[in-house]
Amino acid sequence: MINNTNNGRRDFISKVLVVGAGVMGIVSMGEAKQSGGSSGTTATLTSEQKDWLLFMYQEEKLARDVYITLGKVYPAENTFANIQNSEQNHLSACKNLCVKYGINIAGINENVVGQFVLPNLQELYNTCIYEGKKSLLDAVKIGELIEITDINDLQKASIGMPSDVVSVFNNLTQASYNHLAAFQSRIKALS
């Protein structure tokens, strides 16, 4: 029984790592080409940078959707309710960047919880919900893993981006550190 549990955790952690590595298969960082010197101009992004923005938009949706779903499974756990509202703000910030830089997000329906256009994020969402339904402790550990992954991906996605994108991603990273602390506090209390 313990081996099955440990193997399940290893499988989940491997999937999180594969998603992070898969991002590098989807995107590779390039340099932004500035279209002008004035502060009113918008940078032209490489296709790889546009892929990063789309990925981060979907990753923020994943966080929000996991917290909505696990919040319904564990309605007495306020951490999910509190953080899902913040994740909606993260989602909106990334959506605004996608719109600004002309990234096609027409296929993304924010109103449908648990549906993603990127297959690796769809699989990760499904895995997070499966693992999170095992217990409340497992659920808050899922929150911790999502925030760690989000912080790492935001930092990677910032490389070479225009200053407005970097600024938004820095703000999201700081908020994710706060979310991480909240989940770690709950893990400590439940352990």
pTM equals 0.79
Handedness of CA 137, 138, 141, 147 (dihedral sign): negative
pLDDT higher at 108 or 31:
108
Report the alpha-carbon distance of residue 54 to residue 117 in Å, rounded: 10
In tens, the pLDDT along 23-71 reads 444 433 333 333 333 344 577 889 999 999 999 999 999 999 999 999 9
Q: Residue 61: what pLDDT? A: 95
Three-state DSSP class for residue 118? coil
| Nearest residue to 149 via CA among 24, 14, 16, 10 | 16
Q: Residue 11: what pLDDT? A: 52
The most confident of the ranges 2-16, 107-121, 132-146 is 132-146
Residues contacting 173, CB < 8 A, separation 6+: 151, 154, 155
pLDDT higher at 151 or 40:
151
Q: For the chain, list the domains and their CATH numbers.
A: 44-101+116-190 (1.20.1260.10)
* Mean pLDDT within 165-183: 96
- pLDDT band per the 50, 70, 90 thresholds, residue 168: very high
Write down the mean pLDDT value for the chain: 83
* Mean pLDDT within 123-128: 96
pLDDT higher at 186 or 43:
186
Q: Residue 16: what pLDDT? A: 52
State both tokens at 17.
């790592």
Q: Residue 85: what pLDDT? A: 87
In tens, the pLDDT along 67-93 reads 999 999 999 999 999 998 889 999 999
pLDDT higher at 110 or 9:
110
Is the pLDDT score of 1 beyond 70?
no
Q: Residue 9: what pLDDT? A: 45
Q: How far apart are the first and last CA of the chain?
A: 19
